[in-house]
A and B are shown apart, each in its own frame.
Chain A
Amino acid sequence: NAGVTQTPKFQVLKTGQSMTLQCAQDMNHNSMYWYRQDPGMGLRLIYYSASEGTTDKGEVPNGYNVSRLNKREFSLRLESAAPSQTSVYFCASVGTSYEQYFGPGTRLTVT
């Protein structure tokens, strides 16, 4: 039982490059979230998916797109990376009591 997995763990991009962050959960949860965590800024919600086939914007969606591929997988895409997107990205899935289970994170640097 792996819980929530994220790939890659680390990534360095040049400005303008694109990439997709992958997230998968094996807990059969309906809801999944993407956050970014910056020093001094806490956790900020980028996008969420309340159920398979639905996605909605969070607090900071600009520059990102998401796909809820199936119940297990929720990916985050940066179409044209910018230095302001340097951050640690966390995926989470939501349990029946609204508790969240987080992945280990992807540490992204955009130069």
Chain B
Amino acid sequence: GDSVTQMEGPVTLSEEAFLTINCTYTATGYPSLFWYVQYPGEGLQLLLKATKADDKGSNKGFEATYRKETTSFHLEKGSVQVSDSAVYFCALGNTGGFKTIFGAGTRLFVKA
């Protein structure tokens, strides 16, 4: 069945470091891909999305490109801030049913 695999955390970086969080997926159709962020004590927020191959989603300095050939949607940011400390979830939608499939989440800690 459809699935999402993202890198395990926690990931600990210093401020201004480059961030990559890997996400790969398995899907039979043409899914939409998402990254969500969850700050402590809050609900998930949509960070960015891509609905077809080669689309690049971007928001708040974060980017991810929908790569069909490698079935990947890696999240990147050039210079992280302490305020980026959160849990990041990769997700698969529009898989032919009504469910969205979420990855397990990757916790990011950014040190000043």
Contacts and interface: CB of A to CB of B under 8 A. Distances in A.
A and B: interacting chains: yes
A90 B38 CA distance: 12
A1 interface: no
Interface residues of B, number: 21
A43 B99 CA distance: 12
B102 A104 contact: no
Interface in A77-104: 90, 92, 94, 97-104
> Which of A50, A56, A97: most chain B CB closer than 10 A?
A97
A104 B43 contact: yes
B94 interface: yes
Interface stretch (B16-24, B45-53, B69-77, B78-86): B45-53
Interface residues of A, number: 22
A74 interface: no
Interface of B: 32, 34, 36, 42-46, 49, 51, 89, 91, 93-94, 98-100, 102-105
Interface of A: 4, 31, 33, 42-43, 45, 48, 50, 56, 58, 90, 92, 94, 97-105
